[in-house]
Structure 1
Amino acid sequence: MSWLQRALENIWYNNGRGKWLLLPLTFLYCAIHSFQRWKLTRKRSKPPLAIIIVGNISIGGTGKTPVVIHLARLLAKAGYKPGIITRGYGGKATQWPQDVNAESNAVDVGDEPVLMARHTHLPIAAGSDRCVDIQLLRSKYNCDVIISDDGLQHYPLHRDIEIVLIDSERQLGNGWCIPAGPLRENPQRLKSVDFVLLNNGSHKEIKSNPAFIQQHQLQSVFSMYLSGKSIYSLASQKEKQSLDDLQGKVVHAVTGIGNPQRFYQTLENAGIKLIKHSFPDHHRFIAEELVFNDKKIIIMTEKDAVKCQQFSLNNIWYLPIEARLEKGFDELLLDKLGTCMK
């Protein structure tokens, strides 16, 4: 983490000094953002399928990818033909959109699309133009429902259902938009979305936050957490060991994600002692960064692991996680989707 990022996060989440110096830029950002939203939403056209947006109003990771995977499996099981569209951030392909599958190269299409393809085996299109992504999935796979990984602020894109994720610990920070705060949109935006998911991270329980819900007058709020029980060998993909078996041991924890604290907390909750190595979100690892000259194993996120499979290192393990959502959410979502498709 750079000194600038540390300084900003101190302002955003710890009420650090400097917010007032950034407020003029925040007011300018809000004015431009409001105009852009007004202009772009006027040009929306509804495609002949349903679109579900999974996004957030804050900067940083909130657990969208596991939720997208959960939704894709849910819809496929319910008899729909879902497809996923995603930005493909960090991908180096020269032509977009990319038709992603489980064998795609993360260097070309980005880490998140490959991860979702391996867990869902459903059609996935990666590219910055979400409308073009949808056209690819419609024409090639005849999808009837599209799940957009992120895209809440992609205003030209029509949406039938909006789902916003919020980190239950960080919440909305100091409540200001960037750069004085961590928000991409005004907190009032939460009143217009269909569902709010409060991500409790690695805490293995479904717990609500009545004070936060009442403060922002939210409707249709559900809690969730991220579950990870075993790590898998990057070299073999099949060899695994339980986190419980690592209790008391010291490992290298390597991350290249937006909010690594949830990952670290999952391992620490299992009684594992960590030597932490935090890299920027979507970091492109090189083998030398994963050599620590000791015999301790390395544990990384599954999203990072898809970028490191080419390395001939036998001591790298990764932790798959799944989203566990509060009872009742799946049923309400399917009911709302059924109404949208009539």
Structure 2
Amino acid sequence: MSLEHSWYRGAGWLKLLRPVSLLFQFLSARRRLSKTAAQWRAPVPVIVVGNITVGGSGKTPVTLALIEMLRERGYRPGVVSRGYGAKAPYYPYPVTPETSVADGGDEPCLIAQRTGVPVFIDPDRPAGVRALLESGDCNIVISDDGLQHYALARDVEIAVIDAGRGLGNGRCLPEGPLREPPERLLQVDRVILNGAGAFAFNGATQMRLKPACLIELASGQKVSPDQWSESRKVHALAGIGHPARFFDTLRALGFDPIEHPLADHAELSHEQLRLSPALPLIMTEKDAVKCRGWAPSGCWSLRVEAQFDNGFESWLDSRLNSLKQKYGSP
């Protein structure tokens, strides 16, 4: 059993790691105090989207949805990210729809390709925001996976939690999956629960990822899931934080997937796309950006869109109205 599985199954041996977990929690709290004391505040509103667990929770779909909501309300959003796994030639580094995943990271590249908004990656979030604002027309910033990057002051904090997995055993690393204690959720402005599950949080927004269409990577052809005419037996590839969620989505759409789970942010090779038997291959959008331009025919990505309960946009409008008093209208 892997360490990650142990976190979510309550393995008793994890208690042996508690001294290290308590040390991690202490050092994290001290780091937060240090960074917060010297925070840099941008001259425009900053919205942070993040979580308190390691692994995937659905942050990127939330960021994509926020970008469109902000545009509809007259804002010109930009995004800053760490660019996990990227080997950018310099920092801050601009990520465009043409940027390679090797340089920009899979999630920043996906955001740039899907939305066309300006995106910068930099381990130093304030430096990334300064570059973003200097680069052009941006009047509101989304800090993707930025909850623990306390050097950057923020106006709104959104934490995304996988409702199916929750907080695991509720312990901080390495005894559990938490970057910060569970009480941190009481301090954010909004908690979003992704999908169905046993985990609950008072006042949280419910979100589901709605399958929108399948896109063939080589041709760009788009097909709605109910119009799929090829084999329902497919290869399914997912290099995300929780691959099982993707495979379950395919099954709910009527597919019979042969599962190929990969580590989050894993690189892809030509060999990994040559699977036997010869069947269509469906992958996540985050994986699709890694093989853009060289994927063979028969490789598809499943586009999903975040859908929120009715109260989320009203809450967002309320927060934006408050920000207008501080920063002015967009």
Q: Calculate the TM-score normalised by the size of structure 2.
A: 0.94
Name which of 30, 42, 57 aligns with 2:37: 42
Name which of 182, 200, 208 aligns with 1:212: 200
How many angstroms apart in 2 are the aligned matches of 1:18 and 1:248?
Answer: 44
Question: What's 2:272 paired with?
Answer: 289
Structure 1 segment 36-115 matched on structure 2, within 5 A? 36-115=31-110
How many angstroms apart in 1 are the aligned matches of 2:117 and 2:75?
Answer: 11
Question: What's 1:194 paired with?
Answer: 189
How much does 1:328 deviate?
Answer: 1.9
SS in 2 for 1:134: helix
How many angstroms apart in 2 are the aligned matches of 1:255 and 1:169?
Answer: 18
SS in 1 for 2:268: coil
SS in 2 for 1:251: strand
How much does 1:298 deviate?
Answer: 0.6
- Could you report, residue by residue, the CA deviation over 1:252-287 in whole angstroms, capped at 9, with x for unpaired residues? 101111111111110011221111111111111110
How much does 1:12 deviate?
Answer: 0.8
Answer yes or no: is the 8 Å Cα contact 2:231–2:280 preserved in 1.
no
SS in 1 for 2:78: strand
**Alignment partner of 1:338 is 2:321:** yes
Question: What's 2:298 paired with?
Answer: 315
SS in 2 for 1:304: helix
How many angstroms apart in 1 are the aligned matches of 2:222 and 2:24?
Answer: 49
Q: Calculate the TM-score normalised by the size of structure 1.
A: 0.90
Question: What's 1:130 paired with?
Answer: 125
Question: What's 1:157 paired with?
Answer: 152
Q: What are the ranges of 5 or more consecutive residues in structure 2 without an aligned counterpart?
A: 326-330
Evaluate the alpha carbon distance shift between residue 252 and residue 143 of structure 1 in structure 2; reply closer, same or farther with a 3 A threshold.
same
- Could you report, residue by residue, the CA deviation over 1:218-272 in whole angstroms, capped at 9, with x for unpaired residues? 4x41100001143111101124352563698211101111111111110011221
Identity %: 39
Quick one: which amino acid aligns to residue 174 of structure 1?
N
Question: What's 1:3 paired with?
Answer: none
Answer yes or no: is the 8 Å Cα contact 1:248–1:273 preserved in 2.
no
How many angstroms apart in 1 are the aligned matches of 2:101 and 2:206?
Answer: 31
Structure 1 segment 241-252 matched on structure 2, within 5 A? 241-243=224-226, 245=228, 249-252=232-235
Evaluate the alpha carbon distance shift between residue 57 and residue 247 of structure 1 in structure 2; reply closer, same or farther with a 3 A threshold.
farther
Quick one: which amino acid aligns to residue 285 of structure 1?
L
Evaluate the alpha carbon distance shift between residue 287 and residue 146 of structure 1 in structure 2; reply closer, same or farther with a 3 A threshold.
same
How much does 1:45 deviate?
Answer: 2.9
How much does 1:337 deviate?
Answer: 2.2
Question: What's 2:282 paired with?
Answer: 299
SS in 2 for 1:212: coil
Quick one: which amino acid aligns to residue 19 of structure 2?
P
**Alignment partner of 1:117 is 2:100:** no
How many angstroms apart in 2 are the aligned matches of 1:163 and 1:256?
Answer: 24
How much does 1:41 deviate?
Answer: 0.6
Which runs of at least 4 in structure 1 moved beyond 3 Å after TM superposition? 243-248
Name which of 153, 159, 167 aligns with 1:172: 167
Question: What's 1:277 paired with?
Answer: 260
How many angstroms apart in 1 are the aligned matches of 2:265 and 2:78?
Answer: 23
Cα-Cα RMSD = 1.8
Quick one: which amino acid aligns to residue 175 of structure 1?
G
Answer yes or no: is the 8 Å Cα contact 2:217–2:295 preserved in 1.
no
How many angstroms apart in 2 are the aligned matches of 1:303 and 1:243?
Answer: 22
The size of the alignment, in residue pairs, is 325
Answer yes or no: is the 8 Å Cα contact 1:257–1:280 preserved in 2.
yes
Q: What are the ranges of 5 or more consecutive residues in structure 1 without an aligned counterpart?
A: 1-5
SS in 1 for 2:2: helix
Quick one: which amino acid aligns to residue 276 of structure 2?
N
Quick one: which amino acid aligns to residue 322 of structure 1?
E
- Could you report, residue by residue, the CA deviation over 1:277-318 in whole angstroms, capped at 9, with x for unpaired residues? 111111111101111233211100011011112325111111
SS in 1 for 2:12: coil
Quick one: which amino acid aligns to residue 166 of structure 2?
Q
Most deviating of 252-261 and 241-250 = 241-250
How many angstroms apart in 2 are the aligned matches of 1:334 and 1:139?
Answer: 27
Answer yes or no: is the 8 Å Cα contact 1:23–1:180 preserved in 2.
yes
